[in-house]
Amino acid sequence: MPERTPFTAYQRRVAELGEAIRARRLAKGWLQKDLGREVALGHTAISHFERGTHIPRRDVTLRIDRALDAEGDIFKLRDEMDDNPDAGRVIKYLAKHSKAATIRQICSFWTPPLLETEEHIRLSLEAGMSRHGGDLDEKMAFRAKLCEIMLRPNAPRLGIVLREAVLRDMIGNEQSMRRQLLYLVERSHEPNIDLRVLPFGVGSGVNDVGFVTMWEDPNGHRGAWHPQGTTDGLFISGHSAITALNNLYDHLHQLALDQEATRQFITKVVEELYPCRPNIPSA
């Protein structure tokens, strides 16, 4: 028999949700059809949820949670695997950045989320909808709120170390990438934004955390978040862990190109990979 493929973190959460529904149903002495009747669904749908082949919508999960007297435990499992803007952790992510006086980010594979164009946001979200689900318009609205943080008069100081790989990972087409990268160059002139590129080969021996965002509020309270290969990611509050991440940022910042060299580097990549091609009318 072929070896079973290990579960990803996301698949584990799906399995945990299904098992929680099953365990609560059995504890009540219900068949799948009994639960289905309580939440206005067929027993086949309940079977899919328990086996992890389908994921219940948030409103359906809430009905299941109430029917099984789970007191929010089942809904919490669903909430943690969702990246919709009404997920608790997403609300927390926005709140932490909104209150920050300083934000520092290491971006190894994501375009800086605070400096995205609306076009780029839509394209990147559309690419992930098949995996994450949710409502595209709601996600767009959330990401717009995130970007608005850096457009307000009292915007925080933003420092970004951006690995070259991000510039070469095309989202959409050449022209959409051109517009996004030139937007980064434009925004980098703002006095509270410090954008620096880490070219290939520079800092290659340094631990690559992928993406991490760190913040400090006006009262000096610090925090951080990074995905760790999962959709929900991990909020970090421990002093030693946050200090280590900030030290890593400082080290990469020293290795990276200065701001003017960064602007020149990004512009060169744009002209090489995403040139402005003339519109040729069709015959």
Kindly report the CATH number assigned to the domain that includes residue 68. 1.10.260.40
- State in Å, rounded, how far the first CA of the chain is from the last one: 57
66 and 128 together in one domain: no
Q: Is residue 280 part of a domain?
A: no
Which pLDDT belongs to residue 166?
Answer: 97
Q: How far apart are CA 45 and CA 277, in angstroms?
A: 50
Q: Is residue 266 part of a domain?
A: yes
Signed CA dihedral, 70, 75, 78, 79: sign only: negative
How many domains does the structure of the chain reveal?
A: 2
Residue 92 contacts residue 28 (beta carbons within 8 Å) = no
pTM tops 0.85, yes or no: no
139 and 33 together in one domain: no
Q: How far apart are CA 44 and CA 51, in angstroms?
A: 11
Residues 6+ apart with CB under 8 A from 211: 105, 106, 107, 108, 109, 110, 226, 227
Which pLDDT belongs to residue 4?
Answer: 47
Which pLDDT belongs to residue 267?
Answer: 98
Neighbours of 44 (CB within 10 A): 12
Q: Is residue 1 part of a domain?
A: no
Which pLDDT belongs to residue 129?
Answer: 75
234 and 135 together in one domain: yes
213 and 126 together in one domain: yes
CB-count exposure of residue 107 (10 Å: 0-12, 13-18, 19+): buried
Q: Is residue 278 part of a domain?
A: no
Q: How far apart are CA 185 and CA 206, in angstroms?
A: 26
Point out the domain boundary residue: 20, 51, 80: 80
Q: Can you give the CATH number for the domain in which 259 is found?
A: 3.30.870
pLDDT (tens, 9 = 90+) of the chain, 283 residues, equals 444 444 555 677 788 999 999 999 999 999 999 999 999 999 999 999 999 888 898 889 999 999 999 999 999 888 777 667 777 778 899 999 999 999 999 999 899 999 999 999 999 999 887 666 667 898 999 999 999 999 999 999 999 999 999 999 999 999 999 999 999 999 999 999 999 999 999 977 887 888 999 999 999 999 999 886 544 578 998 999 999 999 999 999 999 999 999 999 999 999 999 998 766 554 4
Q: How far apart are CA 75 and CA 149, in angstroms?
A: 30
114 and 13 together in one domain: no
Residue 198 contacts residue 206 (beta carbons within 8 Å) = no
Single-letter residue type at 170: M
Q: How far apart are CA 212 and CA 202, in angstroms?
A: 18
Residues 127-132: contacts with CB under 8 Å, at least 24 apart: 127/171, 131/10, 132/82, 132/83, 132/231
92 and 215 together in one domain: yes
Q: How far apart are CA 18 and CA 48, in angstroms?
A: 8
Point out the domain boundary residue: 57, 80, 103: 80
Q: Is residue 4 part of a domain?
A: no
Per the structure, the complete domain to which residue 54 belongs is given by: 9-80
157 and 177 together in one domain: yes
Which pLDDT belongs to residue 276?
Answer: 86
Q: Which residue is it, tokens 């206005």?
A: 40
Q: Is residue 209 part of a domain?
A: yes
CA distances from 9 to 13, 96, 207, 265, 269 (A): 6, 25, 22, 36, 35
73 and 93 together in one domain: no
Q: Which helix (H) or strand (E) holds 109?
A: none
Point out the domain boundary residue: 61, 80, 99: 80
Which pLDDT belongs to residue 238?
Answer: 92
Q: Which residue is it, tokens 């580097």?
A: 265
Q: Is residue 150 part of a domain?
A: yes
Residues 55-64: contacts with CB under 8 Å, at least 24 apart: 55/14, 55/17, 55/81, 55/133, 56/17, 58/82, 58/84, 58/86, 61/17, 63/38, 63/39, 64/21, 64/35, 64/39
Which pLDDT belongs to residue 1?
Answer: 41
76 and 121 together in one domain: no
